[in-house]
Amino acid sequence: MNPAFSRDEPDLETLLRSRPRPRVRLQTLLYILTAITTFAAGAVGWEPLLLGVDDADIASAVAEHWSRGLLYAAAVMAVLTAHEAGHFIAAKLHGIPATLPFFIPMPILLTGTLGAVIGMEGSRADRRQLFDIAIAGPLAGLVVAIPLLTLGLIGGTVGEANPFALAPLAVWIQSLVRPDLPTGTTVTPNPLFMAGWVGLLVTGLNMIPVSQLDGGHVCYAVFGRKGNWVARTALIASILTVIISGQTNWVALIVIVSFLGVDHPPIREERQPLDPFRTALGLACFLIPIVTFMPEPLRID
């Protein structure tokens, strides 16, 4: 998960300004740990190995494929950093207090990370500011992720089956840059391909128009309080999709989002609508989860 900012609390500004050194130390530690777990994920070849359990296999893979791990770690951290930098810079430009990002390492070495989050006092933002801050992250992340994915496809080789499913946008890019590949196939996992793949997945998840996700902020900025009905509809549709399809991949995410609250918390000057350009851009951005999200990211036989 990679929500743009945390749930509002009455004293959040005080928390944001308090104890900066311990917070920076924690953020630095999480960044380093995420760099380590993504490095290990790339070295082992994006296998579901678990740190602390499969250490012998991980050490062997690191010794043999350390360069692959370094390239993947650098690429995927660039995607996540761009995403969070988009939020942070937009918040600063609008004068909204925000923290540096908290990166989330993952000990299961499929991707090595669950993304990152920043803290922000969203109640001080109006609809225009909320929109700018929310949309800046996904767009900045895609600016980095799409070229990396494209390079990974161009330089990738065809060999063993790739268990990582392609999003519709990735399928379209592949049809342009690798017309030699038969329909339904793709390149074997490589560092740039996987960094772009993670970028699309993170962006697709975050742009679902629910709660504290980036898409939830954009939805609320575009529609105001009516956006809560869009969020409720999206959550119900997600639950029904899981039940009907039998796909349980996203049950945990649905539970977490439900726990955070489906409706968006109030913001400043809610009645002030967006200008036509932001409204059109916001409506267009609702296509992002459709073209970047993968209902079944892993094809495991």
- Give 10-residue mean pLDDT values along the chain (301 residues): 45 54 87 97 94 90 96 98 96 93 94 91 89 96 98 90 91 95 90 97 91 90 90 86 71 75 83 91 94 80 52
Residue 7 falls inside a structural domain: no
Residue 5 falls inside a structural domain: no
Residue 65 falls inside a structural domain: yes
Residue 64 falls inside a structural domain: yes
* Structural domains of the chain, count: 1
| Residue 51, helix vs strand vs coil | coil
| C-alpha to C-alpha distance for 267 and 260, rounded to whole angstroms | 17
Residue 297 falls inside a structural domain: no
Q: Domain residues for 116? A: 12-292
Residue 300 falls inside a structural domain: no
Please report the pLDDT score of residue 5 as a whole number: 46
Residue 301 falls inside a structural domain: no
Q: Is 236 exposed, middle or buried (0-12, 13-18, 19+ CB in 10 A)?
A: exposed
Residue environment code for 84-97, b if the CB has 16+ CB neighbours within 10 A, otherwise e: bbbbbebbeebebb
